[in-house]
Amino acid sequence: MVYVSAASPHLDTVEVDSPLGAVFFDAPAQLANFRRRLDLVEQVALNPSGSRDLLLGIAGEL
**Residue 37, helix vs strand vs coil:** helix
Q: Is the pTM of this model over 0.85?
A: no
Task: Report the pLDDT value the prediction gives residue 27, as an integer from 0 to 100.
Answer: 93
Task: Report the pLDDT value the prediction gives residue 5, as an integer from 0 to 100.
Answer: 75
Indicate the residue type of 34. Answer: F
Domain boundaries, the chain: 2-61
**Residue 14, helix vs strand vs coil:** strand
d(CA 39, CA 47): 14
- pLDDT tens, per residue, the chain with 62 residues: 777 777 777 788 999 999 999 999 999 999 999 999 999 999 999 999 999 999 999 999 99
| Alpha carbon separation from 25 to 22, 33, 35, 59 (Å, rounded) | 10, 10, 12, 38
Indicate the residue type of 39. Answer: D
